[in-house]
Amino acid sequence: MFGLFKKKSEKEKLQEQYEKLLKEAHTLSTTNRKMSDEKAYQANEVLKKLEQLD
């Protein structure tokens, strides 16, 4: 409850976005390979940004 209005750091936002993109890529892998590859690429770009923050 106390963390209800706590703002997320840039690193937390990128981590969340990375996980979301990987999940979408996995879901799309069974139906649309091209879209799955695109989501995986986007996730990789987010991961690069995450690594730059460290």
Per residue in 4-46, pLDDT tens? Answer: 778 888 899 999 999 999 999 999 999 999 999 999 999 999 9
In the numeric block, which tokens belong to residue 43? Answer: 């996730």
pLDDT at residue 22, as a whole number:
96
Name the 3-class secondary structure at 46.
helix
pLDDT at 25: 96
pTM: 0.83
Type of residue numbered 41:
Y
Asked if residues 28 and 36 have their Cβ atoms less than 8 Å apart, the reply is: yes
pLDDT at 1 over 70: no
pLDDT, residue 49, reads 95
Amino acid 32: pLDDT: 94
Closest CA to 46 of 12, 17, 10: 17
Residue that is written with structure tokens 């986007």 in the block: 42
